[in-house]
Amino acid sequence: MIPPVVDTVWLRDHLGKVVIADVRWYLDGSPGHVEYERGHLPGARFVDLERWLSGSSHDGGGRHPLPTPEHFAEGMAALGVSDDDTVVAYDDAGGVIAARLVWMLRATGRQAALLDGGIGGFDGELETAMPTWHPAEFSVRPWPEGRLASIDDAADPANLVLDARPGERYRGEPNPADPRPGHIPGALSMPTRENLGSDGRFLPVGDLRARFAALGVDDAARVVSYCGSGVTACHALLTLEYAGLGDGRLYPGSWSDYGATDRPAELGA
């Protein structure tokens, strides 16, 4: 399996052999495809998070529930991604959005990685030309139960639950993205963006392991990761894997699901 994170040197050595995916998306509703059209990595295909990487929020399960395996397969096939392709995904936020696609692909046994540093770390010329491709065969594979956590798992004190949102949202400072302030009782704050340096690249692996160790994480087996809606929580899971700590579980509904219930919430650090 390809490592969960690759750098631009690796990407240059594999240009023409991988599918490059642009997964820019913004919490304020700004359209990611507009930025894609202004400039993207050579040959990159735009992947719409709302259309292909999320299910309908009207059916419950939070703001960005996982799509059905059938819908995900339809989207990947339409984008020309086959079961045998290797996908390298990026965004302009250090990978915290593109991680959703990478996690979904890796969880179902495909080859996929984040581009360290994202578009800002690419040292070549961007292009505005729209690439072309042919539809591909992408099989329907169920989301593996061992990689997912339920709302009960997230509330279970036997699990080590990490909140990947910014610290202020974890503490309960008002934010329009959250259904109510606070966090899941017992969850620990681990803002995923703080696993990145000022250049948007991952911190050294030793530093990442130390950050996890400070929260009692030396193995991802008991870890449940959540965020606002199950997107940046995927970045936390890829960080665990990148740091050599194994695979944790994703609570897809995250706080947008939990916070919409009458279950208890905690405030503060």
The candidate with the shortest Cα–Cα distance to 187, out of 174, 205, 206, 169, is: 169
pLDDT of residue 16: 92
Average pLDDT over residues 226-236: 98
pTM greater than 0.95 (yes/no): yes
In this chain, the answer to whether the domains covering 5-121 and 145-258 adopt an identical fold is: yes
**Interior/surface letters 51-63, b for 16+ CB within 10 angstroms, e for the rest:** ebbbbebeeebbb
- Is residue 172 pLDDT above 80, yes or no? yes
Average pLDDT over residues 236-242: 98
Enumerate the domain spans of the chain. 5-121, 145-258
- Is residue 267 pLDDT above 80, yes or no? yes
Average pLDDT over residues 241-250: 98
- Is residue 38 pLDDT above 80, yes or no? yes
Is it true that domain 145-258 has CATH number 3.40.50.2300? no
- Is residue 260 pLDDT above 80, yes or no? yes
Q: Where are the beta strands (DSSP E) in the chain?
A: 5-6, 19-22, 45-46, 86-90, 111-115, 160-163, 188-189, 223-226, 249-250
pLDDT of residue 60: 72
234 is annotated as an active-site residue: no
- Is residue 59 pLDDT above 80, yes or no? no
- Is residue 193 pLDDT above 80, yes or no? yes
pLDDT of residue 116: 98
CA–CA gap between residue 56 and residue 203 (Å, rounded): 35
Residue 91 in contact with residue 26, Cβ under 8 Å?
no
Average pLDDT over residues 103-118: 98
Q: Structure tokens of 199? A: 């250049």
Q: Which of 227, 233, 237, 245 is catalytic?
A: 227
Q: Supply the CATH classification number for the domain 5-121.
A: 3.40.250.10
Q: In the predicted model, what is the mean pLDDT of the chain? A: 96
Residue 53 in contact with residue 101, Cβ under 8 Å?
yes
pLDDT of residue 57: 75
Residue 198: HSE in the Cβ half-sphere, 13 Å Cα cutoff: 0
